[in-house]
Structure 1
C-alpha cells in the first residue's frame, strides 16, 4: 500500500524516503514549462516540486492550472535544484478540480502581489495565500500553547456565557440580543426570550472571578463583542480574549504571572513556528522599515519588563515634554487616561522595552479594582508592548464587600444586576487577581501584521459582517 504524506511530513522525512513511492495531495501554486508543478497542501509554507512524466496526455496537462487540486503518486528523488532537497517524479496524477483561467484572473490566487484590502474582499480564499496561511498556522500554535501553559500551571478552563445582562467594564456599547420588535414602544422585556434585556458579552471576567473563589485558578478563552464604532487597525467588533483569575493572588503576583505567560507564548512560537516566522520576517524586511520581526521577539525574551507606577509615568512624560520640547496631542495631567501616543513614547523611545504600569487613578478604572490605602488609586496594571501598545490589562480585585458596594455606587453600576457578584464577597472572600489578554492582539504582535483584520479568519468590524 502506498503511504500518504502531508507535504510538511514529506519534506521533513524526505532524505529517508529517496526512491520510495508516496502519495501527496494539494493545490497547485504554479506550473512552469509544462513540466514543473509547485504543490502546497497548507501544512507548511514550503512547497513540493513535482516533475511531470512525459507520458501524460496533453489534455490532462491543459487542465493543470494554478489553484487546481490534485492527487499525485510519485517517486521521491533528490533534487538537482538548490531550492529544495527533494522533489517528486510523478507516476500518476488525478485532477480533483481544475480552475478555469478566466475565473483565476479575477481571484487573489493569480500569481501577483495583492493588497491586504483585496485579500479581505476574498477572505474565503485567502487561506491559500502564503502570508495568510503563515498567520493562521501561527495563530493555531499560539492558541495551543495558551492552553498548554495554563494546564501545566494548575488552571481549570472555564466556559463563561456569551449572553449576559451586564457590562463588565460599565462603559462602551454592547450588541443587544432580542426576539422582540424594538420598534414597538414601550418595550416590555418580560415578554422577551430571556425575560430581561440581554447582550453579547464583552468579558467573562466577573463569572471567572466567582469560579476562582471556589476552584482557585481558572481561565477563560473565548469570543467577546464590542459595538463601538472603532474603524481602526487595532480594533474588532468580535474578538477573542484570554482571562485568568486566581484566588489568593496579589497585584505583584498577577504582574509576574502575566510577564511569564507572555514570554512563554513568544518562546513557544519561536521554537515551533520558525519557518512561518522567517517567511514573515523576510516579508517585513522587503516591504517595511520597522524593526525586524525575529529581533523584536527575541528582545521581549531577553530583558525583564520595566515596572513603574502611573504617578511616576506622569512625571516622566511631563519632564520629557519640557526637556525635549515634545508636543503630545493630549496634555499630561495626573488623572488622565494614557493615550496611544504616551504609551508608544514610553515603550519605543524612553524605556525601549515592554512596560508594566500599575496603581492607576480610581476615576479612570472599573469598579471591581481594589482601592489602595491612599483612596485615590487602584491596584490596576497594564502591560505595554512595542508598536502595539496595551496588550494586557488587569488588576487585583476588590474583595471587601463594603468598599466594593461603595465603588458600585460611585460608578453608577447597577447592584441589582450584579447581586450575585456582590454575594461572592460574603462567602469566604479572599484577595484575588486576574487580567485580560486580547488574543488577536498577541497574534498581531507576533506575526508583525499591521492590521488586526489580517490575523483573524473572518473579521467582524463596523459595516462588515461578510462571509
Structure 2
C-alpha cells in the first residue's frame, strides 16, 4: 500500500512508459471511432445506486442516492437508442480486492452499436486493436522507448485472436484443480497463464453473462470475453443485448431497481439487433508495456485498502 506522500518516489521508468502509451491509446482510440462515424458521449460518474449491486461503491451524500459508476452499459444503451453508434472512455470504480489485474479506479472504453450482431462487434474489436497496435508502432513518442517497441512488435506479430466456445475453453484447461463451474472473469489472470495467444470466448453460460445479454437457449447467451496471454487476464467483455422488455422489466423488479426504469423505456425504442462491449484501458496498457502489476500503469494507482 502506497501512502499519499510516497507516490513521487514510486515513479519508475515503467510508469513513465505507461503514461505515454496511455496517452497515445486515447488519441488513436478517438481517431478509430471518429473515422467510423461514432458519436462520443459522456456518461455520468454518479449513477442511481442499486442495493446490493456487486462491487458497488456508494457515495455517503444525499441519503446514498448515488454510487460511483461501475459500468456505463445502461447509459450507453440509452445513448445508442438516440445516436445509433456511440463510444466513450471514462472512469469507473469497483470495490474489488487489489490483485495483479484490479484497480478500484480505472479507465474503460465502452462501445454500443445498433443494427449490430456479435460477429460484427467482434470484428470492430479486432480492427480496433490492430489499428491501435499499428499506430503505436508508428508513434514518435513510443519510438523513444526501445523496450516498448520490441514488445509491441512481438505482440503485433503474434496477434491472431482465436475464437472458442466457453465449453470448449473449459474442457481444454489443463489445471485439474480448477473449479469448472466458476465464472472465468473471477480468475481470469490465473487462466491466462496457460494461454500463448489472445482468445475470444463465446457462447457464455447465461448465469455468468450480464443480465442485458440476449439468450440463445440451453443455458447460453450471446456474450463474449477476451483473454490475454501471459497472466494479463481479461481485456474485454461484451454481448448482443436483449430487447426483451418483459425480461428486462422482470430483472428490474426482482432487483428492486425501479430507479433505472429509464433504461427499459429507451430499449422500447430500439427495433434492431444491438451490441456493446467494455475494454479496460489500464489492462491494455499493462499488456503493451509488459507490467507485472496493473498498479504500474498509473502514477496514482487506487487499490482497495487491506485488499
State whether TM-score is above 0.5.
yes
Residue 38 of structure 1: aligned partner: none
1:331 aligns with 2:179: yes
Residue 79 of structure 2: aligned partner: 211
What is the rounded CA distance, in whole Å, between the counterparts of 1:241 and 1:299 in structure 2?
A: 25
Q: Which runs of 5+ in 1 are unaligned?
A: 1-116, 180-191, 282-291
1:442 aligns with 2:284: yes
Residue 118 of structure 2: aligned partner: 251
What is the rounded CA distance, in whole Å, between the counterparts of 1:240 and 1:386 in structure 2?
A: 21
What is the rounded CA distance, in whole Å, between the counterparts of 2:229 and 2:153 in structure 1?
A: 12
1:144 to 27, 40, 45: 27
**Deviation of residue 299 (structure 1)?**
3.1
Residue 399 of structure 1: aligned partner: 243
1:154-195 Cα deviation digits (max 9, x unpaired): 111101000111459x7423222133xxxxxxxxxxxx3xx6
CA contact (8 A) 1:119 1:126 kept: no
Residue 56 of structure 2: aligned partner: 174
Matches within 5 A, 1:287-326: 293-301=151-159, 303=160, 305-317=161-173, 321=174, 326=175
2:203 alignment partner, SS class = strand
Please state which structure has a larger fraction of its residues in helix. Answer: 2
1:422 aligns with 2:290: no
1:85-118 Cα deviation digits (max 9, x unpaired): xxxxxxxxxxxxxxxxxxxxxxxxxxxxxxxx89
CA contact (8 A) 2:213 2:241 kept: yes
**Deviation of residue 408 (structure 1)?**
4.5
1:216-269 Cα deviation digits (max 9, x unpaired): 1101111111122x1212111111111010011111111111111112111111
CA contact (8 A) 2:118 2:240 kept: yes
Matches within 5 A, 1:266-415: 266-272=133-139, 273-280=141-148, 293-301=151-159, 303=160, 305-317=161-173, 321=174, 326-328=175-177, 330-333=178-181, 336-338=182-184, 339-340=187-188, 341-345=190-194, 348=195, 352-372=196-216, 374-387=217-230, 388-408=232-252, 412-415=254-257
CA contact (8 A) 2:192 2:227 kept: yes
CA contact (8 A) 1:293 1:448 kept: yes
Query: RCO (CA 8 Å, sep 6+): is it higher in 1 or 2?
Result: 2
1:307-338 Cα deviation digits (max 9, x unpaired): 11112223333xxx4xxxx433x2334xx312
What is the rounded CA distance, in whole Å, between the counterparts of 2:215 and 2:2 in structure 1?
A: 49
Q: 1:280 to 1:121 in 2, by over 3 A?
A: farther
Query: What CA RMSD, in Å, does the superposition of the two structures yield over aligned residues?
Result: 2.6
Residue 89 of structure 2: aligned partner: 221
What is the rounded CA distance, in whole Å, between the counterparts of 2:156 and 2:64 in structure 1?
A: 50
CA contact (8 A) 1:138 1:276 kept: no
Q: Which runs of 5+ in 2 are unaligned?
A: none
Q: 1:366 to 1:294 in 2, by over 3 A?
A: closer
Residue 35 of structure 1: aligned partner: none
2:225 alignment partner, SS class = strand
What is the rounded CA distance, in whole Å, between the counterparts of 1:214 and 1:243 in structure 2?
A: 16
Q: Report the structure number with the largest CA radius of gyration.
A: 1
CA contact (8 A) 2:91 2:107 kept: yes
What is the rounded CA distance, in whole Å, between the counterparts of 1:275 and 1:196 in structure 2?
A: 47
**Deviation of residue 274 (structure 1)?**
4.1
1:393 alignment partner, SS class = strand
**Deviation of residue 295 (structure 1)?**
4.9
**How many residues are matched?**
301
Matches within 5 A, 1:70-81: none
The alignment's TM-score, normalised by the length of structure 2, stands at 0.88
2:8 alignment partner, SS class = coil
1:462 aligns with 2:304: yes
